[in-house]
Amino acid sequence: MEASVAAGEDAFIVELDRFHGPLDLLLHLIREQDIDIFDIPIARITEQFLRAIEGVERLGLDRAGDFLEMAAMLIRIKVRMLLPRRGDEEEEAEDPRAELVRRLLEYEHFREIAQHLEAAERDRLRHAGRGYVPPRPEPAAADAELELVWEDVWAAVLAFAERTRPPAEHRVTPRLVPIEEKIALILDTLAQFARIELHRLVAPYGDRLHTVVTLMASLELARRRALAIRQSEPFAAVWLYRRNGIAANAEGDADR
Amino acid sequence: MQKATQIVEALLFASDAPLTAADLARADASLDEDVVEAAVRALRIEYERTGRAFDVYELAGGYQILTRPEFEPYLERFATVPRPARLSAAALEVLAIIAYRQPIGRAEIEEIRGVGSAGVLRTLQDRALIDAVGRAEALGRPLLYGTTDRFLEHFGFRSLEDLPRPENLPVVLREPAAPEVDAAPPEADAAPDAGAAPAADAAADAAGPSEADAVPADASGAPPAS
């Protein structure tokens, strides 16, 4: 819903986009025209507000809803203002605008504080502490990329999988090996050691399925950039390297 | 310089975040909080006397060595990475509300702003400027938010006391009145004792937002360098 359109009828949306919400827009209308906030000419303001939010639906449902809700409130107030006052019934009948005025003032109050915060932030940013000049990049493993072709890895894994097969007396019924288990195993290991030979992670199991799943877990973690895989030459040992400063669940920070 | 002062200096020099007097006192048996505070005062006087480009500032209840503001242009030119992103106007609004009304839930924040604020809250929480501090008794036990030490650091506040006091803002919750001026501007004597946070004056400068713009307050107890 970023309305970055330059001109034409969409220019209007850009205009509306300037406002952080209906209260912001309403305050703008009131302050711009030097209107006494305690005596808002509700009919005029309502009309201006409605004109300003024409085409608001293009801001997206959520944001449009906020503006439309305010529009409804304004119209409701306008209607109540038009209704004849039944004098005797409620002597102290509250001005229908009172609640709106309270909200506008409260919002304006916080908007002002926000401006103070902005000034404080600006001042703080004029000071620099240690770390302002970024630290030198970590050498070696941290930068290592997965530079192997799949076949190399595969061949190496198969080689030591064969090598380590135990003298199988009897076969146990195969059970599923969840990849999460292997991911956890690798992460736990790398939490303790900066690097580990893949072989050492699978040898204790002596089972091809474990080997395959551990390899898949390694590749998955490499894809998440949680570790780096290195092999000095084809058929050599495969090493898993911890990547510095990378959290295990480095996935999914889509939100800004 | 005395040894205690040097120990405190070493720690402050090596730290990229504020350290409290209690933190610093843990470094050596010869230190306690009073000694640390005296050491910080000594350092500030020393830095001012010798014209250092940095000073010890009070932030989030602790101390941190930061460069003086007049060196910002050089540092900015030198930086090879983008500066930390300033907060959006919406984020500042939400922070303002939380800072003054904490603990506060999302529904009340949205009521005050008149707009949905879930995304902003998440962003602020990701940046550790706010945190969930509890749950309301209300239906659904909604989360309540409060500001963090990171918030104080980000804005250069020593504590929440540094926030502009509502009575110093143009009063908007009652009859609109002329902006009130703080009776005794804390800026009056920026003597050695002023361990003023960088933005303390921005807070003290509460006469009105326009003034805050006009005077990019930077005195904060810094000597008239150059």
Complete edge-to-edge strand list for the sheet that includes strand B143-147: B104-105, B143-147, B130-135
Band (pLDDT 50/70/90 cuts) for residue B220 is very low
My answer on whether omega of the bond before B103 falls inside 30° of 0, hence cis, is yes
Is B172 close to A108, i.e. CB distance below 8 A?
Answer: yes
Q: ipTM > 0.90?
A: no
Is B89 close to A114, i.e. CB distance below 8 A?
Answer: yes
Residue B67 CB-half CA count within 13 A: 18
Is A128 close to B205, i.e. CB distance below 8 A?
Answer: no
A70 touches chain B (CB under 8 A): yes
Question: pLDDT digit string (tens) for B87-124?
Answer: 999 999 999 999 999 899 999 999 999 988 999 999 99
Is B115 close to A66, i.e. CB distance below 8 A?
Answer: yes
Q: Report chain B residues whose CB lies below 8 A from the CB of A127.
A: 57, 66-69, 72, 156, 198
B80 touches chain A (CB under 8 A): yes
> What does the pLDDT read at residue A82?
83
A90 touches chain B (CB under 8 A): no
Q: Is the pLDDT of residue A169 over 70?
A: no
Q: Report chain A residues whose CB lies below 8 A from the CB of B213.
A: 119
Q: What is the mean pLDDT of residues B141-160?
A: 93
Distance from CA of A73 to the nearest CA of B (A): 12
Is B119 close to A21, i.e. CB distance below 8 A?
Answer: no
| Mutant choice from B9, B155, B171, B210 vs A, greatest count of A C-beta within 10 A | B155
> What does the pLDDT read at residue B70?
93
Question: pLDDT digit string (tens) for A221-247?
Answer: 888 888 888 887 777 888 888 886 544
A66 touches chain B (CB under 8 A): yes
**Token digits of residue A255:** 């939100």
Contacts 24+ apart (CB under 8 A), A60-69: A60/A1, A62/B116, A63/A1, A63/A21, A63/B115, A63/B116, A66/A21, A66/A22, A66/B114, A66/B115, A66/B116, A67/A16, A67/A21, A67/A22, A67/A25, A69/A22
> What does the pLDDT read at residue A145?
60
